[in-house]
Amino acid sequence: MLGSIRPALCLCCDQLSLDSRDGTSASRFWGQPPRDPRYAGQQPAGRLADRTRSVAVPTVLYRLLFRLVLQNIRPEAAHAGATRVMRIVETVPALSWLLRKLIGPPDPALQVRTLGLTFPSPLGVAAGMDKDATWFEGLGDLGFGFVEVGTITARPQQGNPRPRVWRLSEDQALLNSMGFPNPGADATAARLRDRRGRTIIGANLGKSMTVSIDDAGRDYAESVGKVAPLSDYVVLNVSSPNTPGLRTMQGVERLGGLIANVRQELARIGCQVPLLIKIAPDLSDEELDAIADLALALELDGIVAVNTTVERTGLASGDAAILARAGGISGPPLRARAIYVLERLRARVGDALVLVSVGGITTPDDAWQRVLAGATLVQAYTGLVYGGPSWPRHINRGLSKRVREAGFKSLHDAIGAGVKCASIPQAPSAPTRSGEESSARPRHGRLPVGRASAAR
């Protein structure tokens, strides 16, 4: 045991020394490419150096914990342990206060005004991290600007058989075949009704496993009726690869019918809440364009892109037995495709829709690239798993620095600033590792909707 601990400690100490000087080594520790060379050689000074060290120390400690302990625990068990710890912290006022004090609020320059809400940071937690809606306040205290709970189904369900999550450590990725395990819409609604904090909450809704595709509209509508009045926005998840037949809901005819069912239910309960859809990365260009056109025609509020991928090419992880399993991959292998889908959607819809970019965000440069490409908000899951509890603060501080270096007063002003023309991007062959308002239909400064105006 000592033989394995000593080299890990030495490596972590070396990394701490480098991180405290320039903050660029964290990615090299995990085998990522180094930070953008534009920032290489910049030495933080004074208070900035102190802040860099305050991030580096817990980050290095988490890497040490991950290498020596967490990677030897089944991913789902490790996730459950993290959930329990954060719930304990949130139930002890002194610990919760201390966590918020240590993390500190995001820079006001990171605020984004969209969907009738003011997000303290564009960085959110993707659906799947808080499946049961039990620790969203703790995630908010870590520095995330919002948390998307779920995926929630109308009926409680256990999901697919275990094991159903695997680490692809060489790629910093995860493979999961969860199948929407969750306590159901009634239990989720009860938990959202009791929330006391200010964390912005989105509800990611999916189809119950036992419900046929033909009855999916009524199934989603049942969840919407219970959860939407208690949420700040709603996402219809039609793209998980782990519920049989679900991705067929992305076809224009079925998707249009689903949205109609959901809107009828929202009208029935008198609830106004932003409505988005979450799509897969594995769609063809024609399918992407058709969904974008439908979203515009039906005046949806936005699109969350993308879910996990069923592609297995371009991976460093070589465990054939794991890669042969059904499920979707998240993390850096999804990065290139996620960027492509974002750029194609932006070229198709402009700023008429809110685009939430997900997939392969592990560094501040990743998040900044998505913002410049037209993402109003970004989400992460796997980045937090490998980066640890100080990771969101690291991303927020990196984004704050990039906003100022680029000469913007706020990140909100940088949304879409990197889009030079409306040309359609070229699709990558396979996943690799590597604002002005719209006068017709503004999306970044709409009149208040959602939780503030929804029936409680």
List the catalytic residues.
240
Residue count (the chain) = 456
Structure tokens that stand for 84 in this block = 């329990």
Report the C-alpha gap between 11 and 28 in whole angstroms.
11
Decide: helix, strand or coil at residue 223: helix
Report the C-alpha gap between 126 and 150 in whole angstroms.
9
Dihedral sign of CA atoms 295, 298, 299, 300 in order: negative
Report the C-alpha gap between 456 and 192 in whole angstroms.
10
Q: Is the peptide bond before 165 cis (omega within 30 degrees of 0)?
A: no
In whole angstroms, how far apart are CA 437 and each of 121, 322, 344, 372, 446? 19, 46, 19, 15, 10
Smallest Cα–Cα separation from 387: which of 19, 27, 18, 4?
A: 27
Identity at 16, one-letter amino acid code: L
Can you state the percent helix, strand and coil of the chain, rounding each to 5? Answer: 45, 15, 40
Strands, E assignment, 233-346:
233-237, 275-279, 302-305, 328-330
Residues whose CB falls within 8 Å of the CB of residue 29, separated by 6 or more in sequence, listed in order: 11, 15, 63
The b/e string for 178-196 (b: 16+ C-beta within 10 A; e otherwise) is: bbbbbbbbebbbebbeeee
Strand order in the sheet with 328-330: 165-168, 173-176, 328-330
Decide: helix, strand or coil at residue 427: coil
Decide: helix, strand or coil at residue 259: helix
Report the C-alpha gap between 238 and 313 in whole angstroms.
24
- DSSP type of residue 380: E
